[in-house]
Amino acid sequence: GQQLNQSPQSMFIQEGEDVSMNCTSSSIFNTWLWYKQDPGEGPVLLIALYKAGELTSNGRLTAQFGITRKDSFLNISASIPSDVGIYFCAGRLTGTASKLTFGTGTRLQVTL
Amino acid sequence: NAGVTQTPKFRILKIGQSMTLQCTQDMNHNYMYWYRQDPGMGLKLIYYSVGAGITDKGEVPNGYNVSRSTTEDFPLRLELAAPSQTSVYFCASSYRDRNSPLHFGNGTRLTVT
């Protein structure tokens, strides 16, 4: 099936540092979503992107929908301990209104 | 404001046993989904439904069955549990709008021994 390549797989950073992660695909997507998952919980939506080139912020988080429609990135500025978790990208292929494809996740650890 | 509710939170099954994972949502969403998440992996779609009475297979449907008799409920059935079905199962729902994001439940952790 369709796969999204998400990188890096894991990151260890210090509090206050900026973080960047990305997702790439060989297929064209018409929607990109970024989710965060805390231990023992389901993924929670952070940012949704619907147009190529779109740049959207949510507090310290910024995400962009790549102009080729095959990639997206998420930046977190000035990381804090509660940013710890697994971040997933998800994409909706053109013509598949109901199904999302998920990346394999980026595990973020923040040290004080 | 419950959102998507899954029960049970944890379950241990023996090989060959059966069980039903329950999922209900109170947001009047048309679309509902079942995903499984294996360690270190993303979520894989098992089954989905675009409305009551309509279900369809996702990427990994083998060994599972679903039904959608109401808008609110979307149970997932395992008939003959196998160790390969050890995973965390997430139910999700969304509006019909193609741009609508998914809202997830908190998951059911299933171990088959």
Contacts of A45 in chain B (CB under 8 A): 101-103
The whole-angstrom separation of Cα B27 and Cα A73 is 30
- With a cut of 80, say whether residue A99 has pLDDT above it: no
Each residue's pLDDT expressed in tens, for chain B with a length of 113 residues: 679 999 999 999 999 999 999 999 999 999 999 999 998 788 999 999 999 999 999 989 999 999 999 999 999 999 999 999 999 999 999 988 767 888 999 999 999 99
Percent of chain A with pLDDT over 90: 75
B46 touches chain A (CB under 8 A): no
- With a cut of 80, say whether residue A3 has pLDDT above it: no
Q: What is the largest CA-CA distance in chain A?
A: 45
The whole-angstrom separation of Cα B46 and Cα B32 is 11
Three-class DSSP labels, chain A: CCCEEEECCEEEEECCCCEEEEEECCCCEEEEEEEEECCCCCCEEEEEECCCCCEEEECCEEEEECCCCCEEEEEECCCCHHHCEEEEEEEEECCCCCCCEEECCEEEEEEC
The reply to whether residue B43 touches residue A99, judged by beta carbons under 8 angstroms, is no
pLDDT in tens, A52-77: 999 999 999 999 999 999 999 999 99
**How much is the pLDDT for B90?**
96
Cα distance from B106 to chain A (closest Cα, Å)?
A: 4
**How much is the pLDDT for A111?**
85
- With a cut of 90, say whether residue A97 has pLDDT above it: no
The whole-angstrom separation of Cα A28 and Cα A71 is 8
Q: How far is the CA of A108 from the CAs of A11, A86, B46, B108, in angstroms? A: 5, 6, 27, 23
Residue of B nearest to A1 (CA): B59
Residue of A nearest to B32 (CA): A98
The reply to whether residue A6 touches residue B40, judged by beta carbons under 8 angstroms, is no
Residue of B nearest to A88 (CA): B42
